[in-house]
Amino acid sequence: MVNLLNNEIISNVPNAWLSSLENYITKGKNAEIWDSTGKRYLDYVGGYAVLNTGHLHPRVVKKVREQLDNFSHSCFAYAPHENAVNVCNELNNRYPINDSTKTFLVNSGAEAVENAVKIARYFTGRKSIISFNGGFHGRTYLAMGLTGKDKPYKQGFGPFPDFVHHTEYPYEYRGITDELAIEKLDTYLNTALNPNEVAAIVIEIQLGEGGYIPASGTFIQHLRKVCDENGILLIFDEVQTGFGRTGKMFGAENVDVEPDIVTLAKGIAGGFPLAAVLGRSHIMDSIHDAGIGSTFGASPVSCAASLGVLEAFDNEDIISNTKIQEKIMKDALNAMMDSCDFIGDIRGYGPMIGVEIVESKISKIPDKSKVNKILDQCKENGLLLVSCGQEGNVIRFMGPLTTPQNQVEEAMEIFKNSLV
């Protein structure tokens, strides 16, 4: 048994990187994992919304094994490989932009965001970027600057780029309506910023770390209008909302808006490191030769895994399964909210659901301490969950989209029995 308080982990990794789980994970299968004591958990952390197709999906494993029989690495800029081109082709054909698009493959969500902003600034010749309070875009420097959640991600790491500007993200439960968020954005553009100096607006269709708060089609459509009127590019950060997480293949389908550039990662490759920057062809082609690149981006193995993920979506009706998950989860969670004064809000697109915990429905005071108690009890009872939100008082569900119905029901029962 591994004890994080007195073992080799604490001796070898920084304190800031210590794990939440007390024991090593030793096995994973779809929505289940087992630790070094043999204890079984339902994994509703899912590698932080990475394992949309679950642990060790057979189609992903098969593609990876086939690739490893041939070669493990090639830097695409020197020696191209078919897997990368096939992934780019699939994404270009699938992402809902009614225009010619091209895709550039990198390693992580943060790297994708960095490159999306880099491309937007190059293409427009402008410097300023607008992002949103509560947004999370990664831990590299520019990505931290774009992120609108200070603790723990930005605290002590500044200063950040002065060309990044934040405005309000709609949060109806906390009184920030679409109308108010639109007013704040428009006022900011007409006072603090010159719209002609703004290269891009970057937004998550549903906040991840910021509290699993979905943005409405009305708000996103207004952003599209503002961008079109001012020559600003609209960038969707779909690192977490992509690949079925919101009940649609891509989050953009929930709001009926086309971005100019989108970033994709997490669920893209079934647990292997891969990310993508996809954009309108004339934007992506504007960069000079070798102006973008990545040594390990477009890893042949990760690209093979991604093709396995897409094959699973095509053949296993995963999107329909998300509808079943959503109904089971929201029915159960709404019933819990009716009987629990400390559950203030339940929200989210599809099965990407956040549960906001408060001291009471009347006060709406965030209750992080209760969240931590609930999470500990869930873990004790065999369900892994984590929190999010500006105050750390939102519990989020990130289980595999391939979770069997009986295990979704089991997860809801464990959660209900863990509400302390």
> What is the Cα–Cα distance from 249 to 241, expressed in whole angstroms?
9
Q: pLDDT tens for residues 259-288?
A: 999 999 999 999 999 999 999 999 999 999
Does 159 sit behind a cis peptide bond, omega within 30 degrees of 0 on the bond before it? yes
Check residue 84 and give its pLDDT. Answer: 98
The alpha-carbon radius of gyration of the chain (Å, integer) is 21
Q: Name the token pair of 36.
A: 């070094």
Q: Name the token pair of 336.
A: 């819990």
Mean predicted lDDT score pLDDT of the chain:
96
The pLDDT > 90 percentage for the chain reads 92
Check residue 1 and give its pLDDT. Answer: 43
Q: Name the token pair of 330.
A: 């929201």
Check residue 15 and give its pLDDT. Answer: 86
Check residue 19 and give its pLDDT. Answer: 85
Q: pLDDT tens for residues 81-138?
A: 999 999 999 999 999 999 999 999 999 999 999 999 999 999 999 999 999 999 999 9
> What is the Cα–Cα distance from 335 to 71, expressed in whole angstroms?
52
Lowest mean pLDDT among 8-22, 149-163, 173-187: 8-22
Q: pLDDT tens for residues 220-249?
A: 999 999 999 999 999 999 999 999 999 999
Q: What is the pTM of this model?
A: 0.96
Check residue 10 and give its pLDDT. Answer: 82
Burial per residue of 99-131, b for 16 or more beta-carbon CB atoms within 10 angstroms, e otherwise: eebbbbbbbbbbbbbbbbbbbbbbbbebebbbb
Mean pLDDT for the stretch of residues 405-420: 97
Question: Domains (ranges, CATH) in the chain?
Answer: 8-56+317-417 (3.90.1150.10), 61-315 (3.40.640.10)
> What is the Cα–Cα distance from 194 to 114, expressed in whole angstroms?
23
pLDDT band at residue 17 using 50, 70 and 90 as cut-offs? confident
In sequence order, which residues have a C-beta less than 8 Å from that of residue 401 and are 6 or more positions away?
52, 53, 54, 244, 245, 318, 321, 322, 325, 351
DSSP-assigned letters across all residues of 89-158: HHHHHHSS-SS-EEEEEESSHHHHHHHHHHHHHHHH---EEEEETT----SSHHHHHH----TTTTTTS-
Check residue 355 and give its pLDDT. Answer: 98
Closest by CA position to 237, among listed 96, 374, 110, 334? 110
Residue 3 has pLDDT above 70, yes or no: no
Mean pLDDT for the stretch of residues 25-42: 97
pLDDT band at residue 8 using 50, 70 and 90 as cut-offs? confident
Residue 182 has pLDDT above 60, yes or no: yes
Check residue 6 and give its pLDDT. Answer: 55
Q: Do residues 351 and 247 lie in contact, with contact meaning Cβ atoms separated by under 8 Å? A: yes
Mean pLDDT for the stretch of residues 18-47: 94
End-to-end alpha carbon distance in the chain: 27
Q: What is the DSSP letter of 216?
A: P
Residue 5 has pLDDT above 60, yes or no: no
Q: What is the DSSP letter of 214?
A: B
In sequence order, which residues have a C-beta less than 8 Å from that of residue 11 and are 6 or more positions away?
none
**Spacing of C-alpha 289 from chain mean position:** 30
Lowest mean pLDDT among 1-15, 41-55, 106-120, 267-281: 1-15
Helix (H) or strand (E) segment spanning residue 354? strand 353-357
> What is the Cα–Cα distance from 228 to 281, expressed in whole angstroms?
17
Mean pLDDT for the stretch of residues 54-60: 98
Q: For the beta carbon of residue 70, count every other beta carbon within 10 angstroms.
A: 10
> What is the Cα–Cα distance from 273 to 24, expressed in whole angstroms?
21
Q: What is the DSSP letter of 13?
A: S
> What is the Cα–Cα distance from 375 to 381, expressed in whole angstroms?
10
Tokens 């082609």 belong to which residue?
A: 285
> What is the Cα–Cα distance from 32 to 174, expressed in whole angstroms?
35
